[in-house]
Amino acid sequence: MNSVFDNCMSYDLAQALSILGKNVGHVSAIPGLGGGALDPVIYDYVGPRDLRLVSVDHAMKRTPAYVADIRRLGVGLFLVDIGKSRQLKAWGICKLMFKAWDNMENFDETNSPPYIALVKHNGQVVKFH
């Protein structure tokens, strides 16, 4: 699974996963996108390149224009559940990503984009309805 973390996710976590053999990049390191890239521009980049987007920004599933872009561009989006009050901080997000990564890959193997998948606190991955 080839993935890109958006700007809401840790650049260092993307690097750590990459060092461990996962094909993960960060939007801030992509020429032409960078740290200030807006969500629709990121969708336009990842969709046609068959990359999976990983984020904690749940506005992506609630914003009709974003959902339409995700569908139109064939984006596979994983939204990490960090809680309503964003109580899960950097170390908790790291632990969750390591726990959930195999489930994310399995989900991607059995589901074709476009999709929005939720990464739960227990590491399970479920399709967003």
Q: Which residue has the higher pLDDT, 119 or 90?
A: 119
Can you give the pLDDT at residue 1? 94
Residues 93, 74: Cα–Cα separation, whole Å = 26
Would you say residue 123 has pLDDT above 80?
Answer: yes
Provide the whole-model pTM.
0.93
pLDDT range class, residue 84, cuts 50, 70, 90: low
CATH assignment of the domain containing 58: 3.40.50
Residues β-bridged to residue 54: 5, 78
Which domain range does residue 92 map to? 3-127
pLDDT tens-digit map of 26-63: 999 999 898 889 999 999 999 999 999 999 998 899 99
Counting the structural domains of the chain, the total is 1
Q: Which residue from 8, 98, 94, 4 is spatially nearest to 49, judged by alpha carbons?
A: 4
Q: What is the DSSP string of 52-118?
A: EEEES-THHHH-HHHHHHHHHHT-EEEEE---TT----HHHHHHHHHHHHHHHHHHHHH-PSSEEEE
